[in-house]
């Protein structure tokens, strides 16, 4: 067989960064993980060869954030890929994207200090670098450093997110291949150009007021051009157009900040255009045949209504629908400029036809988190078409 199965246990100890100015005191964060995986000893596909015996599996994690009353604990389910980024076999990289259930979340009356987590379930991303300390027979012992991010994708506010840095130790049972069949096919490097078109349906909220803390749609269309290297790495550039229902409704309903004589009344001249966004990006995607893990970063060329979003959300907490004269809004300073310009996206794609072999036509469905300079913007479901040039 070209693959074996194994398991591992991991302990982590680290620190959760403050998500808001009144974030509660907390002890060290502690984690317990169990990993179940399939190890690809002999490569039969391109990604298995170029990622140097990768592991594909499922992680189950239990985390205590050092303050059970305010921050609670979480249970995480996370598919992952672990591979060797360097020729040095002692190093490996872990990438996981899954979901967590939190026992405690924000409540304006009973738990107002936890503005990091608002919903019971969140997206969870985990990236980790490991170094093998020693091995004994089929057991491998690693030390690692990981970053973990939790967010609900801006589907309910407040959503400051929870970021942590964790040191880990791992014991892993890595059984050796016992089959006599060890012959692997030969692999040659390859490059293919591709074009892609996509559309997305997203959801977000505007700000933390009962009227505006209701999910509305974000519509996206876009295109992409790039190269696929060795059927494993996809690198590309792209552009997109988006329309935000929350921005459009805020403007057309004549809400506070766009009324005559107020800060942004000029947005009422053309509400539809002002509720749209044009942007460009560069992306990288790790292709695992039917699964792709995607990360992009880019620039918003046009996003006029974001000034409403930033002005309200960067001001005083618990903003009302109608603002009194003394209300402190966020200023359109350098922080606004950075968040207004920089966009990013993290997500996972599913290719029903697989990507390990050249295909002139392919399709994918994806689930992504979109952000403004690391601050969640909206959660999106995406459909795409890929055309490859042989």
pTM of the model: 0.90
**Per-residue exposure over 290-322, b if at least 16 CB sit within 10 Å of its own CB, e if not:** ebbbbbbebebeebbbbbbbbbbbbeeeebeee
Domains of the chain: residue spans and CATH: 4-173 (2.40.160.20), 191-389 (2.40.160.20)
- pLDDT for 355 equals 96
The DSSP result for 31-51, as a single string, is EEEEEEEEE-SS--SHHHHHT
Give 10-residue mean pLDDT values along the chain (390 residues): 80 94 93 93 87 92 96 96 88 95 93 92 96 91 96 90 95 74 75 97 94 96 97 97 98 96 96 98 96 97 97 92 95 95 96 95 97 92 96
In this prediction, residue 1 carries a pLDDT of: 45
Burial of 195 (0-12, 13-18, 19+ CB in 10 A): middle
Mind listing the pLDDT tens digit for each residue in 119-145?
999 999 999 999 999 998 889 999 999
């Amino acid at each position: 067989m070209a693959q074996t199965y194994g398991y591992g246990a991991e302990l982590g100890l680290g620190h959760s960064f403050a998500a808001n100015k009144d974030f509660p005191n907390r002890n060290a964060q502690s984690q317990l993980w169990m990993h179940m995986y399939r190890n690809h000893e002999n490569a039969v596909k391109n990604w298995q060869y170029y990622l140097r015996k990768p592991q594909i599996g499922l992680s189950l994690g239990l985390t205590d954030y050092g303050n059970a009353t305010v921050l609670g604990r979480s249970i995480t389910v996370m598919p992952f890929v672990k591979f060797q980024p360097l020729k040095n076999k002692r190093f490996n990289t872990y990438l996981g994207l899954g979901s967590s259930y939190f026992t405690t979340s924000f409540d304006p009356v009973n738990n107002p200090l936890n503005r990091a987590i608002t919903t019971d379930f969140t997206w969870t991303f985990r990236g980790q670098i490991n170094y093998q300390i020693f091995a004994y027979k089929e057991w491998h012992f690693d030390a690692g450093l990981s970053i973990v991010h939790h967010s609900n994708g801006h589907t309910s506010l407040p959503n400051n997110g929870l970021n942590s840095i964790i040191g880990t130790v791992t014991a892993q049972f890595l059984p050796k291949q016992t089959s006599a069949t060890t012959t692997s096919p030969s692999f040659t490097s390859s490059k293919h150009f591709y074009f892609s078109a996509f559309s997305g349906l997203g959801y977000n909220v505007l700000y933390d007021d009962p009227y505006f803390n209701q999910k509305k749609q974000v519509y996206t269309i876009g295109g992409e051009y790039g190269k696929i290297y060795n059927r494993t790495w996809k690198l590309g550039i792209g552009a997109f157009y988006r329309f935000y229902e929350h921005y459009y409704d805020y403007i057309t309903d004549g809400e506070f900040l766009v009324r005559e004589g107020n800060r942004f009344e000029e947005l009422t001249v053309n509400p539809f255009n002002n509720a749209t966004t044009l942007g460009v990006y560069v992306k990288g995607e790790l292709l695992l045949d039917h699964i792709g893990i995607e990360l992009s970063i880019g620039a918003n060329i046009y996003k006029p209504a974001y000034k409403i979003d930033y002005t309200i959300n960067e001001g005083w907490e618990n903003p009302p629908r109608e603002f009194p004269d003394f209300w402190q809004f966020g200023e359109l300073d350098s922080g606004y400029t950075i968040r207004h310009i920089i966009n990013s996206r993290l997500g996972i794609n599913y290719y029903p036809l697989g990507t390990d072999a050249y295909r002139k036509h392919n399709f994918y469905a994806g689930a992504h988190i979109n952000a403004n300079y690391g601050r969640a913007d909206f959660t999106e479901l995406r459909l795409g078409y890929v055309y490859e040039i042989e």
